[in-house]
Structure 1
């Protein structure tokens, strides 16, 4: 499989690349700053570009079978980066005849985290959650075969492949999940065409 990956230089993106290589896939890693991506492999093609440049993204995406977004924002201020990027990805996927996309959002975009943890998330992460929420709304009406991952707190823990999945709510008493396991979920989703048109929360 040929995978077009944005957010490749982030920690979840780099974990996804490692797992994709191990599974025999090819990855086009679309990054703003190639120096941040330390992975060198024959199956990885690093492409420098701007995620908001329609021509650059459409050209780089050509020939791919699926798109995975591990893109995040760099601060907690107001931003429309994620919704703008998602809108452009949808356009470029239609242009290139690509149907499958897996998107990394965050638990809390639907106000589904209970108790004090949920209250704090809505207060502290309100701008990030709103940007993800609007991006996911675009995917839901895109006509594409989308899957959304809504992980709880991300850690640098190891790959376990043992995590819980929730739909309308987060897994009971779920607190966190490693970036490696989020990458595992995303890759499994596109490899096996699982969880199509579903938004799922992830935690241990």
Structure 2
């Protein structure tokens, strides 16, 4: 499968593109920092660009079968960068007739547990979460074959291959974390199996 990864040099994106290549996919990595991809062998293409520039995004999406977007905004900034990047992604997907879109969002958007910490965390990250919510709204009304993946707290521990997935729901108990390596596997599994099209999927360790 030909896959464009927007946000390929994020902490999760680096695991994702490496795993995607190992699974035999043709990965086009899009990033503002392409030099961070130097250690990953077998990429079909590397496109240097800014997701806020539609012409840059078009170069990455042309000829693809699917797009994976891992984008967010700086919690200290009040800009809606994720929303604007996704707006460009959807527009260029329509132009290039690419319909499959996976977006990595956050479990924090509607999480209620752990009860003690959650209100404080959501208040602290309120601008970033509002940005992700806005980006999700663009996706879910886009008529794309979309899946939104909402992971719990991410860490850099080894993969376990022991994960929980909840469709449009919440986890009633912990753990409320997952490794970026396991998340990358979940994303690629969904792209290959298409179990959750048109669905928000919560993801955590089991």
How high is the TM-score relative to the length of structure 2? Answer: 0.93
Question: 2: CA distance between counterparts of 1:22 and 1:55?
Answer: 29
Q: CA deviation at 1:118?
A: 1.9
Cα separation, partners in 2 of 1:44 and 1:74, compared to 1, 3 Å: farther
Residue 179 of structure 1 corresponds to 180
Measured in 2, the distance between the counterparts of 1:15 and 1:171 equals: 28
SS at match of 1:108: helix
Q: Which moved more, 1:158-167 or 1:8-17?
A: 158-167
- What residue ranges of structure 2 are gaps of 5+ in the alignment? none
Gaps of 5+ in 1: none
Aligned to 1:34: 34
Tell me, what secondary structure is at the counterpart of 2:4? Answer: strand
1:147, 1:196 within 8 Å by CA — same for their partners in 2? yes
CA contact (8 A) 2:71 2:82 kept: yes
- Structure 1 position 21, deviation (Å): 1.0
The 2-side partners of 1:135 and 1:113 are apart by 23
Task: Say if 1:160 and 1:181, in contact at 8 Å, map to a contact too.
Answer: yes
Residue 96 (structure 1) aligns with: 96
Pairwise CA distance, 1:79: 2.1
* 1:16-36 deviation per Cα after TM superposition (whole angstroms, max 9, x unaligned): 011101110011111112122
Output one character per residue of 1:50-84: Cα deviation in whole Å (capped at 9) or x when no partner.
11111221122111000001223344331200011
| Greater Cα offset, 67-76 or 23-32 | 67-76
User: Which 4+ residue blocks in structure 1 deviate beyond 3 angstroms?
Assistant: 111-114
Cα distance in 1 between the residues matched to 2:22 and 2:42 = 12
State the superposition RMSD in angstroms.
1.5
Partner residue in 2 for 1:202: 203
* Structure 2 counterparts to residues 1-204 of structure 1, below 5 A: 1-166=1-166, 167-170=168-171, 172-204=173-205
Q: How many residues align?
A: 204
Q: How far apart are 1:113 and its partner, in Å?
A: 3.9
Residues 163 and 203 in structure 1, CA contact (< 8 A), matched pair in contact too: yes
Quick check: 1:171–1:202 contact (8 Å CA) kept in 2?
Answer: no
Q: 1:79 to 1:112 in 2, by over 3 A?
A: farther
Equivalent residue of 1:52, what SS?
A: coil
Q: In structure 2, do the counterparts of structure 1 residues 38 and 117 end up closer, same or farther at CA, with 3 Å as the change threshold? A: farther
Deviation at residue 171 of structure 1 after TM alignment: 5.1
* C-alpha deviation, 1:114, in angstroms: 5.0
1:156, CA displacement in angstroms? 0.2
